[in-house]
Structure 1
Amino acid sequence: MAPERSDPGRRRDFGTFLLNSVLGVVFLIGLAIAVIYTVPPEHLIIPQHEVAVRVARVGDFTVGSSRMETWGEQAILVVRNGEHQFSALEGVSPVDGCLLQWDAESMRVSSPCGHQLYNLRGQAVEGLTTEPLQRYDVFVRDGVVYVTRD
């Protein structure tokens, strides 16, 4: 029996297949890198390490309204109490652990579980505690309201 000789056509087909496979893998890696860099950065933000949290656009935040925002595991109650005035306070009652609510009529923050009332400076006005709420600084940049730690 004569030894088999390799067919140059088959060898060329294998070389083309191998080259196309390598180029395909390089293309897919490049595509994956492009997708990673085009993902919106909000999904990659670690809230505990941010210096400020975005609340809302000023136009979407009417005077007298409030919003509850989270910053990591912290709840923050943000109130728009004037045309250019915003307040931000701890969003959970230190007495009973309930989420606080803004009462625009009385201009007070209240706990629905206990009978705690706080003013916009975070001071206890009524109830069983004298412990104030933690306050946060609020600023507006480019028409967007942000809350930052002291």
Structure 2
Amino acid sequence: MSENAESRLNVLGLELPTASGPAAKYANYVIVGGLMYVSGKGPFGNPKGKLGAEFTTEQGYQYAREAGIQVLAVLREALGSLDKVKRVVKVQGFVNATADFDEHHKVLNGFSDLMMEVFADQGLHARSVFGAVSVRDNLPIIVDSIFQVEDGQQ
């Protein structure tokens, strides 16, 4: 596979959308001390519903992957290139799920797998996943993330 994130993205055949903006009064991202904190992102098209009711684990995996594409779009817009990402540091997933749903980790793998595909070894990250009674706009998943970026990024 290619040597950098931008070329890996091309090999994967992924075209990034325009970065979505914040859903309320907060920053889309903040960079401090070489770390870029990306606010929570959800899947394309604002699907509504819960894992374990309206959606399957497999659908949730795809939604988490789509949230990852949204995050990549924010990174590229902010940094100019995904190649300025040194490492994926931390990922947190909030899965809108029924009380008996227990495959949150499999859902968030959609995001994690994408980070590994794009950033290779630097895509391996720490993570947490939580089941939520509700999330913004009744989305099936929201993912927030932290990245180490090249020094000098504002």
Larger-Rg structure: 1
Whose helix proportion is higher, 1 or 2? 2
| Structure possessing the higher relative contact order (Cα contacts under 8 Å, 6 or more residues apart) | 2
